[in-house]
Amino acid sequence: MDKIHIIDLCNMLLWLLIILTLLCGFIFTKTTKGIPKSWFEWKTEFRYQYLGIAGLIHDAQYASRDRVALYKQPDRIAVITGGNRGIGLRIVEKLLACDMTVIMGVRDPRSAEDAVGGIVDLSQTKGKLICEQLDVGDMKSVRAFAQKISQTYAKVDLLINNAGIMFAPFKLTADGYESHFAINYLGHFMLTHLLLPKLRAAGKPGRNARIVNVSSCVNLIGRINYKDLNGLKYYYPGTAYSQSKLAQILFTRHLQTLLDAEKANVQVNVVHPGIVDTDLFEHSATTAVPFFKKLFFKTPERGSRTVVFAAIDPSIEGQGGTYLSNGGKGPFHADAKQPAKCEKFFEHSCALLKIKQYGNGEYPL
């Protein structure tokens, strides 16, 4: 075999290797364990692949600024949904290190306290941990949780809307909402409404109370399907997830507009924590390649940094409505840059929940 044929063979093998690598990458990083069944599902998967690669590059590129400085704030009360695993657990760890009173809204308070106790010495920390029952996808549970906080505390300094699900099979909640939409967005929309009076009470000039919505970079491919928000006509997990993440950003942007109009000392920010190795990927194909996640994804500790940064860092005081990623501003959906579209979705959410005056703390009948 001459030299030219050897080079051609090597080139062919190289291209074959590249194609196999891309194919394996696609197969083992899909949002579902199954094979897409339509061109729409294939397009959705390709878009997720693109955003995943872009997200990993962004995480690596801005790793040096992905930091948060913790400082003592014993007078502050923080409320967080979830927090018994993954990013949330590390957020709680950091808030307790700031000597805050941290109220966790979780489905199983006892196991949540055990989880926190596994990484924080609760007998030694000056922070105070309180675990209360909350199913953020159930509006009655949200109401009960908010009522308990409102009756117990005069103020709430921080509200971190962290709980969520990802790529889950189709399911309607007890209130009749698709589970991603209910848990990732609508329950937090209601909780924020109910706790806003306590947040207003906490805010002071130069020291705003803060709301942090934990979103995702996949908001960039999200679309609000007003005709079928619950996916009753057609459901695909990746589509439902990206819709819920866009919803959080539209909500954030318009709520900040309302807070600015009333000159409230409250700011709301939205955060992409990064591509993080957590149990949220349990429904995706990545479970077949755990070493890939360990190698390329952020740890939950790193994923918690920008969330806590949004909650406490003085450098973003007064910069509400901002989308943050890796300790700085990040790209977000074009619809969220249009106030009319943010307002339309906000009003639609109020109509769904029968809220007449958002932020008055009253549970709609």
Residue 86 backbone class (left: φ over 0; alpha: ψ -120 to 50; beta: rest): left
Lookup: tokens for 178: 């698709």
- Please say if the pLDDT value at position 11 is more than 80: no
Sequence-separated (6 or more) residues with CB below 8 Å from residue 237:
31, 32, 166, 167, 168, 169, 170, 180, 283
CA–CA separation, 363 vs 350, rounded Å?
12
What pLDDT does 21 receive?
53
Q: What is the pLDDT of residue 282?
A: 62
Strand partners, 160: 80, 212
Task: Give residue 291's pLDDT band: very low, low, confident or very high (50, 70, 90).
Answer: low
> How far, in Å, CA of 27 to CA of 284, rounded?
10
Collapsed DSSP state (helix, strand, coil) of residue 354 = coil
What mean pLDDT is predicted for residues 148-171?
Answer: 96
> What's phi and psi for 262, nearest 5 deg?
-95, 5
pLDDT value at position 287?
52
Six-digit token string for 160 = 């971190």
State the pLDDT at residue 5: 64
Using only C-alpha atoms, what is the Rg of the chain? 21
Note the pLDDT of residue 39.
Answer: 86
Question: Which band of pLDDT confidence, cut at 50, 70 and 90, is reported for residue 362?
Answer: very high
pLDDT of residue 278: 74
Write down the pLDDT at residue 22: 52
pLDDT at 34: 75
Separation CA 151–CA 329 (nearest Å):
36
Q: On the CB side of 355, how many CA atoms lie within 13 Å of its CA?
A: 23
Question: Which position among 226, 241, 323, 358 bears the catalytic label?
Answer: 241
How many angstroms separate the Cα of 65 from the Cα of each of 212, 249, 269, 270, 301?
19, 23, 18, 17, 15
Kindly state the average pLDDT of the residues 179-196.
98
Q: CA-based angle 59:212:305, to the nearest 5?
A: 35
Specify the DSSP class assigned to residue 364: P
pLDDT average, residue stretch 136-161? 98
pLDDT above 80: residue 131: yes
* pLDDT value, residue 14: 64
From the number of C-beta atoms within 10 Å of its C-beta (0-12, 13-18, 19+), residue 98 rates as buried
Tell me, what DSSP letter sits at residue 62?
T
Residue with the bigger pLDDT between 300 and 296: it is 300
Q: Which residues pair with 131 in a beta bridge?
A: 104
- Tens of pLDDT along 88-122? 999 999 999 999 999 999 999 999 999 999 999 99
Active site residue 235: no
Mean of all residue pLDDT scores within the chain? 91
pTM of the model: 0.91
pLDDT of residue 295: 78
**31-73 pLDDT, tens digit each:** 776 777 798 888 998 898 889 889 999 999 999 999 999 999 9
Amino acid identity, position 236: Y
Q: DSSP 3-state assignment of 217?
A: helix
pLDDT of residue 78: 98
Q: What are the start-end ranges of the H helices in the chain?
A: 3-27, 39-61, 86-97, 109-117, 139-152, 179-180, 187-202, 237-261, 290-296, 300-312, 339-353
* pLDDT for residue 9: 67
Task: Please give the helix or strand (H or E) that residue 329 lies within, else none.
Answer: strand 328-329
Mean pLDDT (whole number) for 180-203: 98
pLDDT at 83: 86
pLDDT tens-place string over residues 262-279: 999 999 999 999 999 876
Is pLDDT at 28 greater than 80 in this prediction? no
Provide DSSP, 121-185.
-TTT-SSEEEEEE--TT-HHHHHHHHHHHHHH-S--SEEEE-----SPPP-B-TTS-BHHIIIII
Query: In the predicted model, is pLDDT for residue 25 greater than 70?
Result: no
Tell me: pLDDT of 315 over 90.
Answer: yes
